[in-house]
Structure 1
Amino acid sequence: MSEIETILRQSLPAAVFRSAEPRYLEEPRGRYIGQALAVLAPGSTEEVATIIRACAESGTPVVPYGGGTGLVGGQLAGDGPAPIVLSLERMQAVRALDPVGATMTVEAGAILADIHDAAGAEGLIFPLTLASQGSARIGGLLSTNAGGVNVIRYGNARDLCLGLEAVLPDGAILHGLSPLRKDNTGYDLRHLLIGAEGTLGVITAATLRLFPEPAQTGAAMMVVPNPDAALQLLRMTQARIGDGVSGFELIGRMGLTFLDEVGPDLRQPFVERPDWMCLIDLGLGADQNPAEALETLFAEAFEAGVVTDGVIAQSEAQRQEFWTLRESIPIANRRIGSISSHDISVPVAAIPGFIAEAPGRLAEIGRYRINCFGHLGDGNLHYNVFPEQGRSREDHEAERGAIKTCVHDLVHEMGGSVSAEHGIGRLKVEDLERYGDPAKLAAMRAIKQALDPKGIMNPGAVLR
Structure 2
Amino acid sequence: MPLSQDTTHVLLATLRERLGDRHVLTEPDDIAPALVESRGLYRGTALAVVRPGSTEEVAATVRACAEAGVPIVAQGGNTGLTGGGVPYGGVVLSLARLNRVRSVDPGDAAITVEAGVILADVQAAADEAGMLFPLSYASEGSARIGGSLATNAGGTAVLAYGNARDLVLGLEVVLADGRIWNGLKALRKNNAGYDLKHLFIGSEGTLGIITAAVLKLFPKPVSRSVGFVGLPSFRTAVGLFQRMSRAADRDLTAFEVLPRFGLEIVLKHVPGAVRPLAGDHAVYALVELSSTRPDADTASELEGLLGSAIEDGLIEDATIGTSEAQNTGLWSLREHLSDVQKAEGGSIKHDVSVPLSRLADFLEQATEACEREMPGLRVCAFGHAGDGNIHFNLSQPVGMDKAAYLAEWSRFNRIVHDIVSSMGGSIAAEHGVGLIKREELALYADPVGLDLMRHLKAALDPHDLMNPGKIVALGDDAPPALPV
TM-score normalized with structure 2 length: 0.93
Alignment of 1:59-458 (within 5 A): 59-78=69-88, 82-284=89-291, 285-367=293-375, 368-458=377-467
Q: CA deviation at 1:55?
A: 1.1
Measure, in 2, the Cα distance between the counterparts of 1:260 and 1:296.
Answer: 28
| DSSP 3-state at the match of 1:299 | helix
Q: CA deviation at 1:350?
A: 0.7
Measure, in 2, the Cα distance between the counterparts of 1:357 and 1:460.
Answer: 33
Summarize deviations over 1:57-82 as a string: whole Å, max 9, x none.
1211000001010000000025xxx1
Measure, in 1, the Cα distance between the counterparts of 2:385 and 2:337.
Answer: 16
Q: CA deviation at 1:272?
A: 2.4
Provide the aligned length of Structure 1 versus Structure 2. 461
* Of 57, 75, 80, the match for 2:67: 57
Summarize deviations over 1:322-343 as a string: whole Å, max 9, x none.
1111101111112223341010
| DSSP 3-state at the match of 1:85 | strand
Structure 2 alignment gaps of length 5 or more: 1-7, 474-484
- 8 Å contact 2:341–2:347 — kept in the other structure? no
Summarize deviations over 1:79-133 as a string: whole Å, max 9, x none.
xxx1100000001100010011110000000000111111001111100000000
The answer to which of 26-35 and 268-277 deviates more is 268-277
- 1:382 corresponds to which letter in structure 2? H
Measure, in 2, the Cα distance between the counterparts of 1:392 and 1:141.
Answer: 34
Measure, in 1, the Cα distance between the counterparts of 2:112 and 2:299.
Answer: 35
- 8 Å contact 2:346–2:405 — kept in the other structure? no
Measure, in 2, the Cα distance between the counterparts of 1:309 and 1:253.
Answer: 14
- 2:444 corresponds to which letter in structure 1? Y
Measure, in 2, the Cα distance between the counterparts of 1:453 and 1:397.
Answer: 36
Measure, in 2, the Cα distance between the counterparts of 1:212 and 1:15.
Answer: 42
| DSSP 3-state at the match of 2:228 | strand
| Aligned twin of 1:47 | 57
- 8 Å contact 2:133–2:216 — kept in the other structure? yes
Measure, in 1, the Cα distance between the counterparts of 2:368 and 2:332.
Answer: 32
* Of 35, 40, 43, the match for 1:25: 35
Structure 1 alignment gaps of length 5 or more: none
- 2:20 corresponds to which letter in structure 1? P
Q: CA deviation at 1:211?
A: 0.4
Measure, in 1, the Cα distance between the counterparts of 2:129 and 2:328.
Answer: 22
Q: CA deviation at 1:392?
A: 4.1
Q: Percent identity?
A: 44
| Aligned twin of 1:4 | 11
Q: CA deviation at 1:360?
A: 2.5
- 8 Å contact 1:112–1:137 — kept in the other structure? yes
| Aligned twin of 2:478 | none
Cα RMSD after superposing both structures: 1.3
Measure, in 2, the Cα distance between the counterparts of 1:263 and 1:321.
Answer: 12
Measure, in 2, the Cα distance between the counterparts of 1:159 and 1:269.
Answer: 34
Q: CA deviation at 1:399?
A: 1.7
- 8 Å contact 1:111–1:135 — kept in the other structure? yes
Q: Return structure 1 stretches of 4+ with deviation > 6 angstroms.
A: none
Q: CA deviation at 1:397?
A: 3.1
| Aligned twin of 2:3 | none
Measure, in 2, the Cα distance between the counterparts of 1:153 and 1:338.
Answer: 33
Q: CA deviation at 1:395?
A: 3.2
| DSSP 3-state at the match of 1:21 | helix
| DSSP 3-state at the match of 2:390 | strand
Summarize deviations over 1:155-200 as a string: whole Å, max 9, x none.
0000001000010001000001100000110011100000000000
| DSSP 3-state at the match of 2:12 | helix
| Aligned twin of 2:479 | none
- 8 Å contact 2:230–2:277 — kept in the other structure? no
